[in-house]
Structures are given as C-alpha cells and as structure tokens.
Amino acid sequence: MRGLVVRNTGSWYEVKTDDDRLVECKIKGNFRLKGIRSTNPVAVGDYVDIVENKEGTAFITEIKDRKNYIIRKASNLSKQSHILAANLDQCMLIVTINHPETNLIFIDRFLATAEAYRVPVSLVFNKTDLLDKEEQQRQDELINIYTKINYPCFKVSAKLHTGMEELKNGLKGKVTLLAGNSGVGKSTLINALLPDLNIKTGEVSESSNRGTHTTTFSEMYELPGGGYIIDTPGIKGFGTFDMEEEEVSHYFREIFKTSSGCKYGNCTHTHEPDCAVLEAVRKHEIAESRYISYLSMLEDKNEKKYREAY
Ligand code: GDP
Ligand code: ZN
C-alpha cells in the first residue's frame, strides 16, 4: 500500500494511505540514502510503501524517489543531517514589517537558499492590521521589490483573517512549507487556515521552548481546499546550503540575470570595472537592500557569521 508520511514523532511515522487511512508505521530494514547521512531516513512529505501485518503493526518498506528535500545539520560540527521535509511544491515565508520587524537580510538569505534548493517561494506579509501609514508604505515598497523579481507576495492579517482567500488560492493543491521567524504569526496563520486544529500560539510556545533542538519534528496538515502545509516548529528557515563564493550570485535572480553584462566572467560585483551589477544598483534597477544581502552572503562565505540565524 502506498502512502504519504504526514507526521514523524521520532519513534514512529504516521502515514496517510492512498485509500485514505492514517496508519502508524515503523521502519523496516536499513535505509541508507545516497549522499546524505541523516538522523531520520524517512521524512514528512515522503511517499512510501507500507506493509501491514495481521497483528495490526505496519512497516515502511520503501521510500519513493524524492523530488526535493530540505535538510538541517544535526549540529554545527556534525556531518549528520536532519531531513525537515520532502517533496515540496513551494515555500511560504511569513514576514512582518513590524512587531517584530523581519530583517531583510534574513528574507534574502532565505530566498537565495530556496533558489539553491529549487523550491519556489512566496512572501506572506502578516500583521497588516498593525501597520501605520508609513509602515504600509514601507510594506508596499518591499512588495514592489519582490514582485518585480517574480516572488509572489500576499498581504494578510492572520488575526483578522484578511487576505485569506488569496492566500488559500496560492496554497490550493500544493505542498507548502511555512517558514518564518518566531513571533511573525505562523501558528496563528495555521490556525486560521485550519480552524479545527488549534495549535499553540504566542507565549506558550516560548515557555515550552520548542524547536531549540534538532529533535523538532515537522508536521503536515491537509488543507480543506486541497493541498498540504508543512510546519517545522521552531525552525525559522532552511538549513544552510553549502555554496561556493561564485555561486552566491546565481541565487539572487536579478543579480544573476544582470551579471551577463559584466566585463569579467568571474566578476564578484564588488569592485570590478565595467560591472553591470554595480551599475544597475547605482541606477536603482537592482534594489540596494538586495545588493546588501548579496554582500552579506559573500562575506559569510569567510566568516560564517549569519549561520546562527538559520
Ligand atoms: P509564531 O511564533 O510565528 O507561531 O507566532 P504566533 O502565531 O504565536 O503569534 C505571535 C503573536 O502575534 C501572538 O500574540 C499573536 O496573537 C500575534 N499575531 C499573529 N498574527 C497576527 C496578526 O495578523 N495581527 C496581530 N495584530 N497580531 C497577530
Ligand atoms: Zn559584475
């Protein structure tokens, strides 16, 4: 029987079978995955084959090939990885202009990593009910920057349920990972999308200290309109993606596109003469904030200083 892994508690997996049952499964055999050493061979979002015994126990016997997956290093020193989710259609990054203010470098690093994973991302601007005129303007500026480079943007208030129809449309029929810094309203938004669920929000999540360790498990929820959302409690974004210095610019769409006009093929877009990217930044064709994020990722190649943020 084929099924979809929708929950992983560490010791067993909950699998939604093709005939629409939820079956608790253990793993049978030894799943060695090519290329990655993982603390969890099976992840939420995996399609698997299961075998059910007469005694009522069930085992996962095979993992189907993954379209993609995102990982997180078990720890900085460890070579082991934890697979957060597999087979994503897209990611939605929840951000807020204020209360708390989401850092633009964080957003751009997230987008760059998603490019590297080849997972499409949309931005969800939450807490729009809290914004004054100036903040609304700032939000529109950012939405302008990101829609211009083809990242869809949504404006919502998870609290007042505004903008939810557009968001639901964007989620329909897809497997979507929800990400965002703590406090941006991810839990509130999930509750708004799944009124029957009622997951903890606000202070409670602080005190229970969830997600500070790598034993955090992802959960997948089926949407009433079709499709799934995946929540990775306590995890703000993707794991770091090891990229070479030359590669960084490939993951900033507009910088990559513009770089074809640079004089030197190995241009880093920092100091070189006849650099089309620097020229575009000067002319405001490339947003300064995006360029600053690019520089911060370049620096990070040496200093690894922003790794903490992930
Ligand atoms: P999480 O850490 O991202 O899961 O954030 P929570 O969902 O726990 O929300 C953090 C706080 O922001 C809570 O006090 C929520 O009530 C509040 N909050 C979430 N969404 C909104 C919103 O759209 N508007 C307002 N005003 N508050 C919100
Ligand atoms: Zn250049």
pLDDT tens track for 56-114:
889 999 999 999 988 876 666 666 777 889 999 999 999 999 999 999 999 999 999 99
Ligand nearest to the CA of 185: 1
- Nearest ligand 1 atom to the CA of 204 is 8
Per DSSP, the residues of 140-207 read HHHHHHHHHTT--EEE-BTTTTBTHHHHHHHHTTSEEEEEE-TTSSHHHHHHHH-TTT----THHHHH
Amino acid occupying residue 127: K
Confidence of residue 54 (pLDDT cuts 50, 70, 90): confident
Quick one: pLDDT at residue 244?
A: 81
Amino acid occupying residue 214: T
Higher pLDDT, residue 158 or 215: 158
Same domain, 115 and 214: yes
Q: Is the pLDDT of residue 177 over 80?
A: yes
Same domain, 227 and 150: yes
pLDDT tens track for 248-307:
999 999 999 999 999 999 999 999 999 999 999 999 999 999 999 999 999 876 665 444
pLDDT tens track for 115-146:
988 999 999 999 999 999 999 999 999 999 99
Same domain, 215 and 256: no
Q: How far apart are CA 280 and CA 63, in angstroms?
A: 46
Q: Which residues line ligand 1 (CB under 6 A)?
A: 126-127, 129-130, 157-159, 180, 182-188, 201-202, 205
Number of domains the chain contains:
3
53: domain CATH number is: 2.40.50.140
Same domain, 74 and 112: yes
In a domain, 222, yes or no: yes
- Residue bearing the CA closest to ligand 1, atom 14: 202
**How many other β-carbons are positioned within 10 Å of the β-carbon of residue 44?**
27
In a domain, 8, yes or no: yes
From ligand 2's centre to the CA of 306, what distance in Å?
A: 24
In a domain, 308, yes or no: no
Same domain, 179 and 286: no
Higher pLDDT, residue 24 or 244: 24
283: domain CATH number is: 1.10.40.50
Same domain, 198 and 98: yes
Query: At which of 198, 231, 264 does a domain end?
Result: 231
Q: How far apart are CA 180 and CA 100, in angstroms?
A: 11
Quick one: pLDDT at residue 261?
A: 98
Same domain, 76 and 159: yes
Q: Is the pLDDT of residue 173 over 70?
A: yes
Higher pLDDT, residue 230 or 196: 230
* Mutation test residue for ligand 1: of 106, 125, 189, 201, the one with most atoms within 8 Å of CB: 201
In a domain, 142, yes or no: yes
Ligand nearest to the CA of 207: 1
Same domain, 121 and 262: no
Ligand nearest to the CA of 97: 1
Q: What are phi and psi of 216, to 5 degrees?
A: -65, 135
In a domain, 38, yes or no: yes
Same domain, 129 and 54: no
Q: Is the pLDDT of residue 201 over 80?
A: no
In a domain, 267, yes or no: yes
Q: Is the pLDDT of residue 200 over 70?
A: no
Same domain, 113 and 202: yes
Ligand nearest to the CA of 208: 1
- Nearest ligand 1 atom to the CA of 184 is 3
Q: Range of 57's domain? A: 2-63
- Nearest ligand 1 atom to the CA of 200 is 8
In a domain, 216, yes or no: yes
Quick one: pLDDT at residue 214?
A: 39
From ligand 2's centre to the CA of 105, what distance in Å?
A: 20
74: domain CATH number is: 3.40.50.300
From ligand 1's centre to the CA of 190, what distance in Å?
A: 11
Q: Is the peptide bond before 100 cis (omega within 30 degrees of 0)?
A: yes
From ligand 2's centre to the CA of 288, what distance in Å?
A: 15
In a domain, 34, yes or no: yes
Same domain, 39 and 81: no
* Mutation test residue for ligand 1: of 154, 188, 212, the one with most atoms within 8 Å of CB: 188
Higher pLDDT, residue 253 or 241: 253
Quick one: pLDDT at residue 239?
A: 62
Same domain, 53 and 80: no
Quick one: pLDDT at residue 233?
A: 76
